[in-house]
Amino acid sequence: MTALMQAASQGRMEILETLLRCGADPQATDSDVARVGLKRMAQFGGKDCLRDEALGHCALFVAARHGQAAVISRLIQAGADPNRRDFLDETPLIWAAEGGHQEAIAALLLGGARPDSRTLMAALEKKHPECALDLLQAGVSPDQKALVQAADLADARLLEKMLALQPKLKTGKALAPIAYATRTVPAAEAPPGRWPTLLNQSGWFKRVPEPEEKILEAVEVLLRAGAPVNEISSVGPALYVAAQQGLTCLVRRLLEAGADPRLAYRDRTPLEVARLLGHEEIARLLGDDAAVPPQPALPTARTPGTGKELQQPCFPEFPEIPELEAICGSLSSQPDYLRGGREIRLSRPVDLLALQRHWRTQGIYLFHPGDETLLAAIPADHWRVAVALMQTNGANWDLNPSDVVSWLEKLEKKQPFELSNITRDRLEGAFQTPIAEPERLAQSMYQFCPDIVDQGCGSLEVLVQELKKAPATLFLWWD
């Protein structure tokens, strides 16, 4: 850090003025070169894992991170660029939004900072509704992903503002996530129940559900906007989630709005979930008739507008694999998520793609299920089965597993690839041949999976350069 950055972080205006008067450069950064793999570290480990990593920050970034509004105004006056980007392709405005610093956001906007959808998502993901409202007022246009994220805050004002700006957003997708809205309170103030526990420098905290009155108020906003109560979102139908969370008043309101108590999700009805979790009052509300799901049961994954399903496979029989266990150095297990497949913890590094090619001839498909220290084995000979098993989707972008498979099949015909890592929201692999038209493929990948650019490499130009490498990496990730 420069002396100017140190003064900016603490809001020491007198020292700041002295340094500027003596020639301190407000554009000087902590480093001119980014560490290799820095963005990937931040994506999968969060910014907390970066600690004191040099991020290409000048004093304005430091002031934004610490919410020093007066310092921000003075630095911009001295020539600091309010739209400068760091090594993560983020602006001071994004850092201020993540910190929930309203005054800092106001100072940046007044100084010429240009807000965008990433800034809005930063405020929403860190649960700062007031900052999100300020950004909407400043002209940021909310998209479907922002609406779903806003539902997690159960803030009626925020939802009303978004729908006023973009009335065609799909409200049904946001209805169920509202039931998952939580807040963090000191552990001593938490209501009775088993809640996730957090420990930070201020002490022990619990993450508890938002008050049901607040949740109901937010739900009413969506219902008035015409939200279909029986729509299946990425977390299930709204009634199912409300029953799961024990929200009695919300269950009653959804039933009044026409929610179908027989609508099953993951082979369970809302009534079965309520009984399983001991929510007796909700079970009485739903009634015994809700125990019988409609026939046929609705799938958990559909292609929007077509009704096309991608059934999740199950493997009742699976051969013993002692040779593979010997290669990996440990015995296999059968976790529930593989539905009959096997999981092996790797005790030594392996060449997955080489293993995959060999074992596929034996009728066994291998992949990493998100963790590269684990190997998943299923009785299949193609990645399609693994994607269907993991139900890979981009739900926030209205992409279901069948959409993912359809897009990948078209890609495979033009650019063959192998997948190595398959999870619910991420795919990794490698292309088997040089990319014929990297610019065109980059544009197609960005349209299908905006997060790989918007929250990943930062620009289409960088993605094009990655695709020109040999071998090129295939990476899709829906945050």
Q: What is the CATH number of the domain that holds 41?
A: 1.25.40.20
**202, 204, 206, 207 alpha-carbon torsion, rounded to 10°:** 40
123 and 183 in a single domain? The answer is no
Task: Say if 125 falls within a structural domain.
Answer: yes
* pLDDT (0 to 100) of residue 290: 52
Q: Which of 139, 165, 192 is the last residue of a domain?
A: 139
269 and 348 in a single domain? The answer is no
Task: Say if 99 falls within a structural domain.
Answer: yes
332 and 271 in a single domain? The answer is no
117 and 234 in a single domain? The answer is no
Task: Say if 167 falls within a structural domain.
Answer: no
127 and 25 in a single domain? The answer is yes
365, 398 contact by CB (below 8 A): no
* pLDDT (0 to 100) of residue 297: 36
Per-residue pLDDT of the chain (479 residues; tens, 9 = 90+): 899 999 999 999 999 999 999 999 999 999 988 888 887 777 767 787 887 889 999 999 999 999 999 999 999 999 999 999 999 999 999 999 999 999 999 999 999 999 999 999 999 999 999 999 999 999 999 998 899 999 999 999 999 999 999 999 999 989 999 988 988 889 888 877 667 777 777 888 888 889 999 999 999 999 999 999 998 877 789 999 999 888 999 999 999 999 999 888 877 889 988 888 888 999 999 985 454 444 333 333 333 334 456 788 989 888 889 999 989 888 999 888 898 999 999 888 888 888 999 999 889 999 999 888 899 999 998 999 999 999 998 876 778 899 999 999 999 999 999 999 999 999 999 999 999 899 999 989 988 998 888 777 777 888 999 999 888 999 998 87
243 and 361 in a single domain? The answer is no
Task: Say if 311 falls within a structural domain.
Answer: no
* pLDDT (0 to 100) of residue 349: 81
Q: How many CA atoms lie within 13 A of 249 on its CB side?
A: 10
463 and 326 in a single domain? The answer is yes
Span 43-65, pLDDT tens digits: 767 787 887 889 999 999 999 99
What's the CA gap between 432 and 130, in Å, rounded? 48
Type of residue at 333: S
Q: Which of 114, 139, 164 is the last residue of a domain?
A: 139
Sheet containing 197-200: order of strands: 182-186, 203-209, 197-200
168, 221 contact by CB (below 8 A): no
* pLDDT (0 to 100) of residue 294: 46
What's the CA gap between 118 and 357, in Å, rounded? 40
* pLDDT (0 to 100) of residue 474: 94
How far is it between the farthest Cα atoms of the chain? 79
- Mapped onto helix, strand or coil, the DSSP state of residue 34 is coil
Helix (H) or strand (E) holding 475: strand 473-477
Long-range contacts made by residues 67-71, C-beta under 8 angstroms, separation at least 24?
67/96, 67/99, 67/101, 67/103, 67/104, 68/8, 68/9, 68/10, 68/11, 68/104, 69/101, 69/103, 69/104, 69/106, 69/107, 70/11, 70/13, 70/107, 71/7, 71/8, 71/11, 71/13, 71/16
Task: Say if 85 falls within a structural domain.
Answer: yes
227 and 108 in a single domain? The answer is no
What's the CA gap between 64 and 41, in Å, rounded? 22
> 441 is written with which tokens?
């493929």
* pLDDT (0 to 100) of residue 292: 43
Sheet containing 473-477: order of strands: 417-422, 426-431, 473-477
| Containing structural domain, residue 185 | 178-291
86 and 218 in a single domain? The answer is no
* pLDDT (0 to 100) of residue 39: 79
188 and 246 in a single domain? The answer is yes
350 and 402 in a single domain? The answer is yes
Task: Give how many domains the chain has, as a whole number.
Answer: 3
> 72 is written with which tokens?
């921000």
Task: Say if 149 falls within a structural domain.
Answer: no
Task: Say if 185 falls within a structural domain.
Answer: yes
252 and 125 in a single domain? The answer is no
Task: Say if 168 falls within a structural domain.
Answer: no
Q: What are phi and psi of 384, to 5 degrees?
A: -55, -40
- Burial of residue 385, with CB atoms counted within 10 A of its CB: 0-12 exposed, 13-18 middle, 19 or more buried: middle
